[in-house]
Amino acid sequence: MATSYMGKLLWVDLSAQRFRVDQTPEKLQTDFVGGKGFGAKLLYDLTRAGLDPLSPECPLMFLTGPLTATAAPSMRACVVTKSPLTGTYLDSFFGGRFGPEIKYAGYDGIIITGRAESPVYLWIHDDTVEFRSAEGIWGNNALAANDAIKNDLGEPEAMAVTIGQGGENQVRFALISCEYNRQAGRGGAGAVMGAKNLKGVAVKGTQVVNVHDLPAFKQACQQANAAIAESEVCETLTYGGTSTSIPWASLSGVLPYRNYSDQVDPKAEKLGDEAQHKHLFLGKAACFGCPIRCSQMGAVRTGKYAHLITDIVEYESAALIGSNLDIHDIRAVAHLVKLCDEYGIDSMSAGGAIGFAFEAAQKGVINAPEGIRLDFGSVEGAEYLIRSMALQEDELGRLLSQGVKRASEVLGRDTEAYAMHVKGLESPAWGPRGTPGMGLAYMTADRGGCHQRGFMIGYEVGGEEYNGQPVEAHTVVGKAEILKGEQDYLAGTDALVKCDFGAFGVSAEIYARLLTAATGRRVDAGFFSELGERIWNQTRLFNLREGFRPEDDRLPRRFVEEALPSGPHKGQRISEEDMTAMRADYYQVRGWDEQGRPTEQTLKKLGL
């Protein structure tokens, strides 16, 4: 029976320089479907409590879903490992062209353990796996390494993932750069790769990805494409990617400004779509199989950074390297984000770390090196810190490259008050004061402070309705229930692996038709929330086993203690009482006990 699964997993042991191919376990496929689901189950089973993410034993997994590599629009793949930044379960999703290639080579996923004695890269072509020396490439930035690997192989059509110097140096928020210039950005998967002495993975395959019922699948693809074409949100993403969200977020009072001291930026327009159209954009690029083409490619044409080729400065980077640092020359922000991409460090965490350092310097806790101004608005200061973190050039860089949680623990002197993170993951660029549901989403996200596990701002200020009713922003009541629904559905569709942007158009019904036609397994629209709840509880079990407790499900002190000074949510904060109330509600709707542990009944219901 034809199916869109390849039915095989590739296991690579870098220490022994051996590999084996096993069947994808049927139960894994049935209960966890793919992508995030596979990752949640495999990471739990393959690790023990307290495992050092930077040890050889820690698995680094590149996982596809049953719709990856097919004509189903806007599908992706993910990296799953244990985060060296947070110590939690970590998944990080990436578009581009690498994910599908894993399936064209014949695999549902690649699971890498061990540590090579000296730098290597993997060359996977169909059933052949080669361990090739990366000695000559070590030290290259992430994009240069992509070129170097293809040149070394003489395979321009191979697809590659690489790390930059940040990953080599095991910066705790190092990223993996995915064909091409797409990032598995958050949580430090690049450091795990660097700790394995693995500079890159190149893949090329000749296998065909089949589907169970081609006519039905083609029809479902047409419906999905039509739904995307009709979606106003998708149309906005086609027009300007996520850059349009910058001015909107400031107007809505949720844009981080000067290390979150406020959530309104008077100069937000300078970082938004109009500015980027004027100064950067030239044309559009798409990830594999995506009609949305949210990526706006371009170049800086004038000024100090002229002739820098740059992708769109997407919302999170524009906010965290721009408004959060009070830097408003979009060309300079493009330059700083490109530096992060090349060195291979997460621009979101980097922005958080720099904002923290600027504030600490302002307060006299850290001293700027001679000739460098460490203060809001300083492009040179930001550039200096990015370099010193990625290249581990000095003590300050080494300290900040551990993330703001560890840095504030070392520095003391009440720096914790403005270290903006949840469970060690630097806060994303949606300030939650005034939208406590978004705060709860951060408190409970499986990988720490993340906005993509339940985007409550859409309800709280974006006008989205819940059960046909508008959702009041400034209340904690009822937020847990809405959030649970969001988290479950997103986790379920992250098993496919869908892109969040495609999901603005494609409905649960259409995803169900796509999955049914692709695999032959009959599912309905409700399937994804059920699946997602199982996955969500599986990642919770991992984090509990690592010792996470209810007191870790909390927000950074600034969101709790400091009322917003201006904007539509002036005076708002999320107090200890608010957090306690939302946490209790949340555990209850999840079927967890007071310690945040899934009850026997819940686990039984989910088959865990």
Partner 1 sequence: MSSASRQLFIKTNFDRCTGCELCQLACSERLLGGYNPHRALLQITHTCENLYHFPTVCNQCKNAYCANVCPVKAIGRDSDTSALVVDREKCVACNLCHRYCPLHIVGVDPELKKSVKCDLCGGNPLCVAACPTGALELAWCEKPAEAGEGE
Q: Are 313 and 332 in contact (CB under 8 A)?
A: no
Q: How far is the CB of 500 from partner 1 (least distance, A)?
A: 17
Q: How far apart are CA 415 and CA 424, in angstroms?
A: 14
Count of residues that bind partner 1 according to CB under 8 A: 40
Q: Which of 226, 306, 309, 477 binds partner 1 (CB under 8 A)?
A: 309
Q: 338 vs 186, 277, 313, CA distance in Å?
A: 16, 17, 9
| Contact between residue 432 and residue 439 where contact means Cβ atoms under 8 Å apart | yes
Q: Is 424 in the site for partner 1 (CB under 8 A)?
A: no
Minimum separation from the CB atom of position 284 to partner 1 (A): 5
Q: Which is nearer to partner 1, 316 or 342 (CB)?
A: 342
- How far apart are the C-alpha atoms of 571 and 577, rounded to whole Å? 16
Helix axes 347-362, 379-390, angle to 10 degrees: 120
- Asked if residue 18 binds partner 1 (CB under 8 A), the reply is no
226 touching partner 1, by CB under 8 A = no
Q: Which stretch binds partner 1 (CB under 8 A): 32-40, 286-294, 478-486, 497-505?
A: 286-294
- Tell me the closest approach of the beta carbon of residue 408 to partner 1, in angstroms: 36
Q: Does 552 bind partner 1 (CB under 8 A)?
A: no
Asked if 232 is part of the footprint of partner 1 (rule: CB under 8 A), the reply reads: no
Which residue in the set 283, 364, 412, 607 belongs to the binding site for partner 1 (CB under 8 A)? 283
- For partner 1, the closer CB: 137 or 366: 137
What value does the CA radius of gyration of the chain take, rounded to a whole number of Å? 22
Residue 150 contacts partner 1 per CB under 8 A: no
311 binding partner 1? (CB under 8 A)? yes
Mark the segment that binds partner 1 (CB under 8 A) among 132-140, 279-287, 475-483, 575-583: 279-287
Q: How far apart are the first and last CA of the chain?
A: 28
Which of 28, 143, 336, 425 touches partner 1 (CB under 8 A)?
A: 143
Which CB sits closer to partner 1, 150 or 451? 150
CB of 339 to partner 1, least distance (A): 14
Residue 66 to residues 344, 452, 494, 608, Cα–Cα distance (Å): 29, 21, 11, 22
| Residue 541 contacts partner 1 per CB under 8 A | no
Report the alpha-carbon distance of residue 332 to residue 276 in Å, rounded.
12
Examine residue 306 and tell whether it contacts partner 1 (CB under 8 A): no
Distances (CA, A) of 57 to 82, 194, 205, 219, 442: 11, 14, 28, 44, 29
The type of residue at 497 is V
Q: Is residue 296 a contact partner of residue 241, using CB atoms and an 8 Å limit?
A: yes
Omega prior to 497 cis, within 30 of 0: yes
Dihedral of alpha carbons 146, 148, 152, 155, sign: positive
Q: How far is the CB of 539 from partner 1 (least distance, A)?
A: 30
- For tokens 């806060």, name the residue: 427
Stretch that binds partner 1, among 282-290, 403-411, 444-452, 599-607 (CB under 8 A): 282-290
Identify the helix (H) or strand (E) that includes residue 159.
strand 159-162
CB neighbour burial string for 235-249, b if at least 16 within 10 angstroms, e if fewer: ebbbebbbbbbbbbb
Phi-psi region of 24 (alpha: psi -120 to 50; beta: other; left: phi over 0): beta
Interface pattern 151-190 for partner 1 (x via CB under 8 A): ------x----------------------xx---------
The answer to whether 316 contacts partner 1 (rule: CB under 8 A) is no
User: Computed from CA positions of residues 36, 42, 45, 49, in that sequence, does the dihedral angle turn out positive or negative?
Assistant: negative
Considering the rule CB under 8 A, would residue 242 count as an interface residue with partner 1? no
CB atoms under 10 Å from CB of 434, counted, come to 25
Q: Is 208 in the site for partner 1 (CB under 8 A)?
A: yes
User: Does residue 282 interact with partner 1 by CB under 8 A?
Assistant: yes
CB of 96 to partner 1, least distance (A): 9
Member of 119, 187, 298, 556 binding partner 1 (CB under 8 A): 298
Q: What is the contact mask toward partner 1 in residues 70 to 99, using x (rule: CB under 8 A)?
A: xx-x-----------------------x--
For the bound state, the minimum distance from the C-beta of residue 465 to partner 1, rounded and expressed in Å, comes to 30
DSSP type of residue 466: B
Shortest distance, position 7 Cβ to partner 1, whole Å = 14
Segment contacting partner 1 by CB under 8 A, of 277-285, 354-362, 436-444, 476-484: 277-285
- 148 versus 327: smaller Cβ distance to partner 1: 148
The only residue of 20, 27, 218, 604 in contact with partner 1, by rule CB under 8 A:
218
Stretch that binds partner 1, among 20-28, 68-76, 457-465, 563-571 (CB under 8 A): 68-76
Stretch that binds partner 1, among 24-32, 160-168, 285-293, 500-508 (CB under 8 A): 285-293
Looking at residue 518, the DSSP 8-state letter turns out to be H
Asked if 69 interacts with partner 1 (CB under 8 A), we say yes
Q: Measure the CA–CA gap between 247 and 267, rounded to whole angstroms.
A: 9
Using CA of residue 584, residue 585, residue 591, residue 597, what is the dihedral sign?
Answer: negative
Distance in Å, CB of 368 to partner 1, minimum: 33
CA distance to 406, 408, 583, per residue, from 399 (Å)? 8, 9, 32
Smallest distance, Å, CB 287 to partner 1? 7
> Does residue 469 belong to the site contacting partner 1 (CB under 8 A)?
no
- Minimum Å gap between C-beta 356 and partner 1 is 31
Distances (CA, A) of 133 to 40, 119, 121: 31, 6, 6
Could you tell me which of 165, 51, 179 has the C-alpha nearest to residue 119?
A: 165
Binding mask 505-524 for partner 1 (x = CB under 8 A): --------------------
Q: How far is CA 199 from the centre of its chain?
A: 20
**Binding residues for partner 1, per CB under 8 A?**
2, 69-71, 73, 97, 100, 104, 143, 157, 180-181, 204-211, 214, 218, 225, 282-291, 293, 295, 297-299, 309, 311
